[in-house]
Amino acid sequence: MRRTMFCMIFSLFVGGMMAQPGDNQTTVDVQVRPRAEYRNGALFPRDRGELPARFIANRARLSLGYERSQLEMRFSAQHVGVWGQDPQIDRNGRFILNEAWAKLRFGHGLFAKLGRQPLSYDDERILGALDWNMAGRYHDALKLGYESRQDLLHLILAFNQNDERVIGGTYYHPGAQPYKSMQTLWYAHSDKYFRVSALAMNLGLEGGTTDRAETRYQQTFGVNLGVRPDRALDLSGAFYYQMGRTAADVSISAWMAALRANIHATEGLSFQLGSDYLSGDKRESTRFEAFNPLYGTHHKFYGAMDYFYASPFANGLNPGLWDNYAGLNVAVTPSLSLGATGHYFSTTSNLQSATGRRSKGLGTEVDLQLSWKLMKDVNLMAGYSFMSGTETMDYVKGGDHTRWQDWAWLSVNIQTRVFQAMW
């Protein structure tokens, strides 16, 4: 083992020393992304008498990259905040590193990537970079992998602690990363007409106390499929199952399934039809039966207003979700496109309240979006959404369904490479 490690380190050192001029590449990328929002029932339905909120949030990101034949590195610092949040004279800036990783290539498709990195897999239902959120999402992890033209195999390992310790065990105080440890194995195969991937994830969740740490383990298994028989049709589906124990030591048995069809009618017109089903908890059961989509990009799937999984349910409920949707996209010009999607939401578990059993129907959401490429590296996007909820929506999310619920936003994304050099 020691000999192998020594050979790896020695080969990397010698490879760097023997690099020829032109083998090294350095890049600098910058991004500025302000987004103005009008929230009148986003994330949570508003209650009677509540006034809408208005603000401008911003992401400022600076990324430095280095690459040669056997080594790639990336460091990305960002500041995320709301206009007016910081004083004009600020001595406590909140710049953080959202990426800080190195990737070592060992030849024959083998690599190791270690450090702070986004994890984005398949369609981002389970693991996503969450780019819609100003902060994004990162993991401190080690990724070992093999990649060829058609086959990919990744092993992801992570172990989290709140701080350095001398003694005191392994108790992980909640509030930082949502898990204590993670082991994920992912495999994907693709060709011109077909793609398939399989994921197996084991999460260690802290369920003990500061005096006695106790890790409970939750497993997620699933497959993601895609078929494209011709240029006009793209079919995809996914199925995942969860088992193991919650942090509170309750047995888990939950699942989700999704189907989607993308129909490209013409060069500038496409349609989407789909259905997502996530199991819910029956409460009277001794098992926890609500599927958790974990660290996916939920904004991408369950309505742009982020009522579901991007924000929690009310009243301690986990009723699941059945989302049936249809949408269209129109490319008006090469630089301007319009989109519209309608969702009908319902719970997947029965709801019993003091007044009796409730209907499963939650309501209808309509999402409108515009995307306009103003110039190279500059994109303007805007959207408007409204929700027509039911009494059941009030019960599972709060608010007052008789009040108008809507949300509007306008964003400018400026993202460009300002420096690139070969040496």
- The torsion region of residue 303 among left (phi > 0), alpha (psi -120 to 50) and beta comes to left
Phi first, then psi: what are they for 396, rounded to 5°? Answer: -95, -20
Beta bridge partners of 225: 196, 237
Q: The tokens of 131 are what?
A: 């780019």
In this prediction, what percent of the chain has a pLDDT beyond 70? 95
316 neighbors 280 (Cβ within 8 angstroms): no
Q: Which SS3 state, helix, strand or coil, does residue 298 take?
A: helix
- pLDDT value, residue 20: 54
- pLDDT value, residue 1: 37
- pLDDT value, residue 353: 73
Mean pLDDT computed over 324-330: 98
DSSP classification of residue 300: G
Task: Please give the span between the terminal C-alpha atoms of the chain, in angstroms, as a whole number.
Answer: 35
| pLDDT surpassing 60 at residue 89 | yes
| pLDDT surpassing 80 at residue 284 | no
| pLDDT surpassing 50 at residue 224 | yes
In this prediction, what percent of the chain has a pLDDT beyond 90? 85
Q: How many CB atoms within 10 Å of residue 408? A: 18
| pLDDT surpassing 70 at residue 180 | yes
- pLDDT value, residue 285: 78
Q: Which SS3 state, helix, strand or coil, does residue 252 take?
A: strand
* Confidence at 41, pLDDT banded by 50, 70, 90: very high
> Is the full-model pTM beyond 0.85?
yes
Q: The tokens of 181 are what?
A: 């440890």
298 neighbors 321 (Cβ within 8 angstroms): no
Helix and strand numbers (H, E) in the chain are 2, 20
**How far apart, in whole angstroms, are the C-alpha atoms of residue 144 and residue 111?**
6
Q: How many residues are recorded in the chain?
A: 423
- pLDDT value, residue 15: 44
Structure-token match 């490429």, residue found? 373
Q: The tokens of 246 are what?
A: 């919650």
Between 221 and 229, name the one with better pLDDT. Answer: 221
Among the ranges given (9-13, 148-152, 412-416), the one the predictor scored with the smallest mean pLDDT: 9-13
On the CB side of 75, CA atoms within 13 Å amount to: 5
- pLDDT value, residue 168: 85
- pLDDT value, residue 21: 59
Q: How far is CA 164 from the centre of its chain?
A: 28
Per-residue burial over 5-25, b if 16 or more Cβ lie within 10 Å, else e, is eeeeeeeeeeeeeeeeeeebe
CATH numbers and ranges of domains, the chain:
23-422 (2.40.160.100)
Q: The tokens of 226 are what?
A: 């895609």
Q: How many CB atoms within 10 Å of residue 99? A: 20
| pLDDT surpassing 50 at residue 28 | yes
352 neighbors 358 (Cβ within 8 angstroms): yes
337 neighbors 371 (Cβ within 8 angstroms): yes
Q: Express each pLDDT in 357-406 by its tens digit.
A: 889 999 999 999 999 999 999 999 999 999 999 999 999 999 999 999 99
Kind and range of the H or E element at 396?
A: helix 391-397
**How far apart, in whole angstroms, are the C-alpha atoms of residue 345 and residue 198?**
28
